[in-house]
Amino acid sequence: MKKGKIFVISGPAGVGKGSVLKKLLETRENVFISVSATTRLPRAGEEDGVHYHFLDVDTFHKWIAQDAFLEYAEYVGNFYGTPRRFVDEALEKGQDVILEIDVRGAEQIAQKRPEAVLVFIAPPSWEELERRLVQRGTESPEKIEKRLLRARVECRTASTYHYFVINDTIENAAKELNAIMTAEHCRSMERMEVISGS
Protein backbone atom coordinates (compact mmCIF):
# COMPACT_ATOMS: atom_id res chain seq x y z
CA MET A 1 0.00 0.00 0.00
CA LYS A 2 1.09 3.57 -0.69
CA LYS A 3 2.66 5.13 2.40
CA GLY A 4 1.50 8.49 3.70
CA LYS A 5 3.61 11.64 3.82
CA ILE A 6 4.61 13.91 6.69
CA PHE A 7 3.50 17.54 6.49
CA VAL A 8 4.97 19.91 9.07
CA ILE A 9 2.79 22.94 9.77
CA SER A 10 4.42 25.85 11.59
CA GLY A 11 3.52 29.46 12.14
CA PRO A 12 3.35 32.02 14.93
CA ALA A 13 0.97 31.51 17.83
CA GLY A 14 -2.37 33.11 17.02
CA VAL A 15 -1.99 32.81 13.24
CA GLY A 16 -4.88 30.33 13.15
CA LYS A 17 -3.17 26.98 12.49
CA GLY A 18 -5.85 25.11 14.44
CA SER A 19 -8.73 26.68 12.49
CA VAL A 20 -7.03 26.02 9.15
CA LEU A 21 -6.47 22.36 10.03
CA LYS A 22 -10.07 21.97 11.21
CA LYS A 23 -11.25 23.40 7.87
CA LEU A 24 -8.86 21.13 5.97
CA LEU A 25 -10.32 18.03 7.62
CA GLU A 26 -13.78 18.98 6.34
CA THR A 27 -12.63 18.36 2.76
CA ARG A 28 -9.66 16.01 3.00
CA GLU A 29 -9.68 12.38 4.12
CA ASN A 30 -6.91 10.07 5.20
CA VAL A 31 -5.20 12.67 7.40
CA PHE A 32 -3.79 12.00 10.85
CA ILE A 33 -3.12 15.03 13.04
CA SER A 34 -0.26 14.15 15.37
CA VAL A 35 -0.93 14.90 19.05
CA SER A 36 2.13 16.38 20.75
CA ALA A 37 3.32 15.44 24.20
CA THR A 38 3.96 18.29 26.63
CA THR A 39 4.93 18.93 30.22
CA ARG A 40 2.88 22.13 30.40
CA LEU A 41 -0.38 22.13 32.35
CA PRO A 42 -3.67 21.73 30.48
CA ARG A 43 -5.54 24.95 29.64
CA ALA A 44 -9.27 25.09 30.32
CA GLY A 45 -11.04 22.61 28.01
CA GLU A 46 -7.92 20.72 26.94
CA GLU A 47 -8.14 16.93 27.13
CA ASP A 48 -5.30 14.45 27.59
CA GLY A 49 -4.68 12.47 24.39
CA VAL A 50 -6.82 14.87 22.33
CA HIS A 51 -5.14 18.27 22.51
CA TYR A 52 -1.89 16.98 24.00
CA HIS A 53 -0.47 13.96 25.71
CA PHE A 54 0.15 15.58 29.10
CA LEU A 55 3.28 14.09 30.67
CA ASP A 56 5.20 14.88 33.84
CA VAL A 57 8.81 15.98 33.41
CA ASP A 58 10.24 12.60 34.49
CA THR A 59 8.18 10.67 31.94
CA PHE A 60 9.11 13.18 29.24
CA HIS A 61 12.81 12.65 29.97
CA LYS A 62 12.34 8.87 29.96
CA TRP A 63 10.76 9.12 26.48
CA ILE A 64 13.70 11.23 25.29
CA ALA A 65 16.10 8.57 26.59
CA GLN A 66 14.10 5.89 24.74
CA ASP A 67 14.31 7.90 21.50
CA ALA A 68 10.53 7.92 21.48
CA PHE A 69 10.28 11.46 20.04
CA LEU A 70 10.67 12.46 16.39
CA GLU A 71 11.48 15.94 17.68
CA TYR A 72 11.25 17.81 20.94
CA ALA A 73 12.06 21.25 22.30
CA GLU A 74 11.78 23.37 25.39
CA TYR A 75 9.67 26.49 25.03
CA VAL A 76 8.95 29.07 27.75
CA GLY A 77 9.93 26.59 30.43
CA ASN A 78 7.92 23.60 29.13
CA PHE A 79 8.82 20.62 26.97
CA TYR A 80 6.97 19.72 23.77
CA GLY A 81 7.59 16.66 21.62
CA THR A 82 6.19 14.50 18.80
CA PRO A 83 5.80 10.82 19.78
CA ARG A 84 7.35 8.78 16.98
CA ARG A 85 5.18 5.68 17.24
CA PHE A 86 1.77 7.15 16.33
CA VAL A 87 3.29 8.98 13.35
CA ASP A 88 4.87 5.84 11.89
CA GLU A 89 1.73 3.78 12.47
CA ALA A 90 -0.36 6.31 10.55
CA LEU A 91 2.16 6.53 7.68
CA GLU A 92 2.15 2.73 7.36
CA LYS A 93 -1.64 2.81 7.12
CA GLY A 94 -1.28 5.21 4.15
CA GLN A 95 -2.42 8.28 6.09
CA ASP A 96 -0.79 11.66 5.67
CA VAL A 97 0.51 12.92 9.00
CA ILE A 98 0.32 16.56 10.01
CA LEU A 99 2.75 17.77 12.68
CA GLU A 100 1.84 21.18 14.08
CA ILE A 101 5.22 22.13 15.54
CA ASP A 102 7.53 25.11 15.84
CA VAL A 103 10.49 26.15 13.70
CA ARG A 104 13.07 24.29 15.79
CA GLY A 105 10.98 21.13 15.73
CA ALA A 106 10.62 21.47 11.97
CA GLU A 107 14.40 21.57 11.61
CA GLN A 108 14.72 18.32 13.55
CA ILE A 109 12.08 16.68 11.34
CA ALA A 110 13.82 17.95 8.19
CA GLN A 111 17.01 16.21 9.33
CA LYS A 112 15.43 12.93 10.45
CA ARG A 113 12.82 12.71 7.69
CA PRO A 114 14.17 14.70 4.71
CA GLU A 115 11.14 13.67 2.65
CA ALA A 116 8.84 15.64 5.02
CA VAL A 117 7.07 18.65 3.50
CA LEU A 118 7.44 21.89 5.50
CA VAL A 119 4.62 24.44 5.36
CA PHE A 120 4.75 27.80 7.11
CA ILE A 121 1.48 29.59 7.84
CA ALA A 122 1.95 33.34 8.07
CA PRO A 123 -0.43 36.11 9.10
CA PRO A 124 -1.47 38.66 6.45
CA SER A 125 0.17 41.37 8.62
CA TRP A 126 1.66 41.94 12.08
CA GLU A 127 -1.28 44.10 13.11
CA GLU A 128 -3.66 41.26 12.25
CA LEU A 129 -1.58 38.76 14.24
CA GLU A 130 -1.62 41.01 17.32
CA ARG A 131 -5.38 41.44 16.97
CA ARG A 132 -5.87 37.65 16.84
CA LEU A 133 -3.65 37.04 19.88
CA VAL A 134 -5.49 39.67 21.93
CA GLN A 135 -8.85 38.29 20.80
CA ARG A 136 -7.87 34.77 21.89
CA GLY A 137 -7.67 36.21 25.40
CA THR A 138 -5.68 33.34 26.91
CA GLU A 139 -2.51 35.29 27.66
CA SER A 140 -1.26 38.37 29.47
CA PRO A 141 -0.15 41.45 27.50
CA GLU A 142 3.48 40.63 28.41
CA LYS A 143 3.16 37.11 27.00
CA ILE A 144 1.54 38.48 23.85
CA GLU A 145 4.45 40.91 23.39
CA LYS A 146 6.87 38.00 23.80
CA ARG A 147 4.95 35.91 21.25
CA LEU A 148 4.90 38.75 18.70
CA LEU A 149 8.65 39.21 19.01
CA ARG A 150 9.16 35.48 18.58
CA ALA A 151 6.81 35.47 15.57
CA ARG A 152 8.95 38.10 13.80
CA VAL A 153 12.08 36.02 14.37
CA GLU A 154 10.28 32.87 13.17
CA CYS A 155 9.11 34.50 9.95
CA ARG A 156 12.65 35.69 9.22
CA THR A 157 14.10 32.19 9.71
CA ALA A 158 11.37 30.42 7.76
CA SER A 159 13.44 30.08 4.58
CA THR A 160 13.91 26.33 5.20
CA TYR A 161 10.18 25.83 4.59
CA HIS A 162 9.00 24.51 1.24
CA TYR A 163 5.68 26.35 1.17
CA PHE A 164 4.20 29.53 2.59
CA VAL A 165 0.49 29.90 3.17
CA ILE A 166 -0.85 33.33 4.11
CA ASN A 167 -3.86 32.91 6.40
CA ASP A 168 -5.90 35.83 5.08
CA THR A 169 -9.08 33.77 5.31
CA ILE A 170 -9.35 30.28 6.80
CA GLU A 171 -11.04 29.03 3.60
CA ASN A 172 -8.20 30.22 1.36
CA ALA A 173 -5.50 28.92 3.65
CA ALA A 174 -7.16 25.50 3.96
CA LYS A 175 -7.64 25.36 0.17
CA GLU A 176 -3.95 26.10 -0.39
CA LEU A 177 -2.84 23.55 2.20
CA ASN A 178 -5.10 20.97 0.56
CA ALA A 179 -3.57 21.78 -2.85
CA ILE A 180 -0.06 21.43 -1.43
CA MET A 181 -0.89 17.97 -0.07
CA THR A 182 -2.47 16.85 -3.37
CA ALA A 183 0.46 18.24 -5.37
CA GLU A 184 3.05 16.54 -3.16
CA HIS A 185 1.40 13.20 -3.89
CA CYS A 186 2.03 13.90 -7.61
CA ARG A 187 5.77 14.28 -7.00
CA SER A 188 6.66 10.71 -6.46
CA MET A 189 8.27 8.70 -9.22
CA GLU A 190 6.48 5.70 -7.68
CA ARG A 191 3.57 6.81 -9.83
CA MET A 192 5.60 6.35 -12.98
CA GLU A 193 6.76 2.89 -12.01
CA VAL A 194 3.16 1.76 -12.22
CA ILE A 195 3.04 2.63 -15.87
CA SER A 196 6.69 2.17 -16.90
CA GLY A 197 6.74 -1.31 -15.48
CA SER A 198 3.69 -2.51 -17.36
Minimum distance, C-beta of residue 31 to a second copy, in the bound complex (Å): 15
* Nearer Cβ to a second copy (66/198): 198
The candidate with the shortest Cα–Cα distance to 119, out of 163, 75, 58, is: 163
* Nearer Cβ to a second copy (29/67): 29
Minimum distance, C-beta of residue 190 to a second copy, in the bound complex (Å): 9
Binding residues for a second copy (CB under 8 A): 119-120, 122-126, 152, 155-156, 158-159, 162-166, 175-176, 178-180, 182-184, 186-189, 191-192, 194-196, 198
The set of residues, in sequence order, having a beta carbon less than 8 Å from that of 50 and lying 6+ positions away, is: 35
Minimum distance, C-beta of residue 191 to a second copy, in the bound complex (Å): 4
Q: Reduced to 3 states, what is the DSSP secondary structure of residue 109?
A: helix
* Nearer Cβ to a second copy (88/130): 130
β-strands 37-38, 78-83: how paired?
Answer: antiparallel
* Nearer Cβ to a second copy (91/180): 180
Minimum distance, C-beta of residue 185 to a second copy, in the bound complex (Å): 8
In the chain, the DSSP E strands lie at: 6-10, 31-33, 37-38, 53-54, 69-75, 78-83, 96-100, 117-122, 163-166
DSSP-derived letter for residue 48 is B
